[in-house]
Amino acid sequence: MTEGRRIGLPRSLLYHTFHSLWTTFFEELGWRTVTSPPTNRRVLERGVALAVDESCLPMKVFLGHVESLRGHCDAVFVPRIESLNETEHVCAKFMGAYDIVRNTMPDLPLVTYDVDAANGVQERASMLALARELGAGPLVARRAYARAKAAQRAHDLEMVRLQESLLDVGSAERDHTRILVVGHSYNLADELIGKPILEFLRSLDVEVVTSAEVDKPQARALSKRLSPSIKWTYNKELLGAVELYREVVDGIILVVTFPCGPDSLMAELCQRRVEDVPVATLIIDELQAEAGMRTRLESFVDIIEAKRHAAHKAEVEA
Amino acid sequence: MRKGYLGVDIGSISTKAVVIAEDHTILASEYLWTEGNPIAAVKRVLAALEPQLAGADVEVVAVGTTGSARELIGSVLGAQVVKNEITAHAMGTLSLHADVRTIFEIGGQDSKIIVLRDGVPVDYAMNTLCAAGTGSFLSSQSRRLGIPVEEFGDYALRSTRPTRIAGRCTVFAESDLVHKAQIGYAIEDIVAGLCDAIVNNYLNNVGKGKEIEAPVVFQGGVSKNVGVVEAFKRITGHDVIVDDCGHLMGALGIALLAQNTGAEERFDFGVRDLTFETMGDECGGCPNNCEVVFVLRDGEFIDGWGNRCATGIERVRRAAEGAPTVG
């Protein structure tokens, strides 16, 4: 495997969170990275064919991406991530992704690393072990890891900075309706799942803020206000984004893929506990009908704008 | 010459249209079945509206479309405004009942609830993929029982003790219904049970967590079913208003929205004599293979949608304009 120089990265799931870390890491080790194309119908169809029926939509999309890298790289990178810190979990699909791919496509060469911080398996040790497996000496490996972490940190900070510069504009000077779209990065950044939603909202002249660009540690801490006991790292970030932005947005849209267990809990929790801001839940599956999505989003925005106008009128009259 | 505004609401089952005057009075209206052909339906609607306006000295200056075929018919009619049905229904209903606080709407395949406070819609919900508890559910059950759907309500009113029917799913409801018939329940009690099931299903699905406050207005095709209306009154404990023109609220609302845009362009009823043709094509330009639909007016491309990018429409436009004119 060490003769090959190309690592395939599926543009799916945690790629949308960790692409800076991963691409920098492999490139520092002297490998080229090949990323699968943005999700399209064919990727989805292949994924649907490969996955068991009960898989969630992102998992189906993921398998389609892995399959699309076949023949374009020497090995596909699929990490096995069980927990990112001692007290939290991540969704079981991140735990199972590597083994699912290995069993679904047994002939496909894979590389992986494990993270299970709750049980003492740390990212740093695992990534250094992977570097050794890929033929790197200890010095190169450590340097690659350090640079990868720095690149990821820089990227995360830039995202937060961009979002906050947007939010600097006070609500009074704002002409546009501002909506927070809450959903996993792998859904919101996906060409087929989340992008059409964000684009449609922008076409309605809505200013869109998303949970993907939130300050993650801050969000995880804030999530306790909405739920002190939720254990999933990524759902904590989403709840934290709701908590962080609820006072500066006019509405919240929760984008949930079918049949996500953690998200269904989170959506219900938001619908019940967020009473000061209108909340809508949009559930997306592979049979998505764009017309239905548009009807629901357009009417949600109409209602929010009608309310804003009424409030504005009352202010002018008073 | 007075100004008039045309609003067309093209649903999956029925097509509704009104022409209103500047003071919002309805000058002409029509209600007919879409029959799976929205363009033909809208032509029939126009043919029915025009004679109603004869002698009224009205010129239609703006058009609005709503309902599931709103984009297609919006292109055909050159509409000034194309809007979703929730907004249209809320607007139309508010023009009749300025104090309305809850709107129930049950149509052919959709059911929705709109919550309004102080004349502004503040919340809504729509059914998900499943059409259980909508008009199509009722009509399939009425077929099974051999009762015309129009008489369904009268059967329900004759019942003194409605039987319990599971309304969550059409398939289960059907087996429940057959079971109840086989063990000897009167048909009236079964029909009344179905009406109760519709209402309970509605309140537990789209109505879940919504504050239902009076005045309540009930609209959509199913509001014509007196059995369901009575069930709503009994179960919610509120009076439920059903207007004679309740089925026109979407059309009225979108006509008002067309008027509000301020954009004016003389509308020609002669549009119904033009040939409109829709064609669907798979773009094939990239792996998304979008299903692009486009409309030709007398062979000329007027609009298209369904594409995720701009190139798809251009490709089908070129293909369409090069293609021989049909009909």
DSSP B112-148: EEEEEETTEEEEEEE--S--TTSHHHHHHHHHHHT--
Nearest CA in chain B to A295: B84
The proportion of chain A whose per-residue pLDDT surpasses 90, expressed as a percent, equals: 76
Which residue in this structure is represented by tokens 């068991």? A52
**In angstroms, rounded to a whole number, what is the distance separating the alpha carbons of residues A216 and B171?**
46
What is the pLDDT confidence band of residue A2, given thresholds at 50, 70 and 90?
A: very low
* Cα of B288 to nearest chain A Cα, Å: 4
Looking at residue B326, its pLDDT comes to: 41
B235 and B164 in one domain?
A: yes
Looking at residue B325, its pLDDT comes to: 41
Domain range spanning residue B290?
276-322
B212 and B142 in one domain?
A: yes
Q: Is B114 inside a domain boundary? A: yes
Q: Which of B120, B287, B308 sits opposite A307 (nearest CB)?
A: B120
Q: Each residue of A195-250: pLDDT tens digit? A: 999 999 999 999 999 999 899 999 999 999 999 988 899 999 999 999 999 989 99
Q: Inspect the interface and report whether the beta carbons of B86 and A271 lie closer than 8 Å.
A: no
Q: Each residue of A237-283: pLDDT tens digit? A: 999 999 999 989 999 999 999 889 899 999 999 988 998 899 999 98
Q: Is B76 inside a domain boundary? A: yes
What is the pLDDT confidence band of residue A126, given thresholds at 50, 70 and 90?
A: very high
CATH code for the domain of B267: 3.30.420.40
Tell me the one-letter amino acid at A99.
Answer: D
Q: Inspect the interface and report whether the beta carbons of B86 and A278 lie closer than 8 Å.
A: no
B139 and B104 in one domain?
A: yes
Q: Each residue of B98-139: pLDDT tens digit? A: 999 999 999 877 889 999 998 888 888 888 766 667 888 888
* Cα of B98 to nearest chain A Cα, Å: 14
Report the complex ipTM.
Answer: 0.70
B268 and B256 in one domain?
A: yes
B23 and B154 in one domain?
A: no
Q: Inspect the interface and report whether the beta carbons of B87 and A302 lie closer than 8 Å.
A: yes
- Provide, as residue numbers in chain B, all residues whose Cβ is less than 8 Å from the Cβ of A42: 287-289
Looking at residue B309, its pLDDT comes to: 78
Assigned token pair, A170: 């006070």
Assigned token pair, A124: 């740093």
Domain count, chain B: 3
3-class secondary structure, B293? strand
B201 and B72 in one domain?
A: no
Mean pLDDT of chain B: 88
- Residue A4 confidence (pLDDT) above 60: no
Q: Each residue of A33-55: pLDDT tens digit? A: 999 999 998 999 999 999 998 89
Nearest CA in chain A to B124: A300
Domains, chain A, with CATH or none: 6-152 (3.40.50), 169-317 (3.40.50.2300)
Q: Each residue of B39-76: pLDDT tens digit? A: 999 999 999 999 999 988 999 999 999 998 999 999 99
Q: Inspect the interface and report whether the beta carbons of B84 and A294 lie closer than 8 Å.
A: yes
Q: Is B200 inside a domain boundary? A: yes
Q: Which pTM value belongs to this model?
A: 0.82
Q: Spell out the alpha helix ranges (H) of A81-137.
A: 92-104, 123-133
Q: Is B137 inside a domain boundary? A: yes
Q: Inspect the interface and report whether the beta carbons of A196 and B84 lie closer than 8 Å.
A: no
B78 and B123 in one domain?
A: no
Q: Which of B120, B123, B126 sits opposite A310 (nearest CB)?
A: B120
Q: Is B327 inside a domain boundary? A: no
Q: Is B77 inside a domain boundary? A: yes
**In angstroms, rounded to a whole number, what is the distance separating the alpha carbons of residues A125 and A115?**
9
Give how far Cα A288 sits from Cα of A41, B44, B86, B128, B203, Å: 11, 32, 20, 12, 26
B262 and B189 in one domain?
A: no
- Provide, as residue numbers in chain A, all residues whose Cβ is less than 8 Å from the Cβ of B209: 271-272
Q: Each residue of B295-324: pLDDT tens digit? A: 888 888 888 877 777 777 777 777 777 654
* Cα of B65 to nearest chain A Cα, Å: 13
Q: Each residue of B82-101: pLDDT tens digit? A: 999 889 999 999 999 999 99
B197 and B106 in one domain?
A: yes
B288 Cβ contact list (under 8 Å, min separation 6): A40, A41, A42, A192, B308
Q: Is B117 inside a domain boundary? A: yes
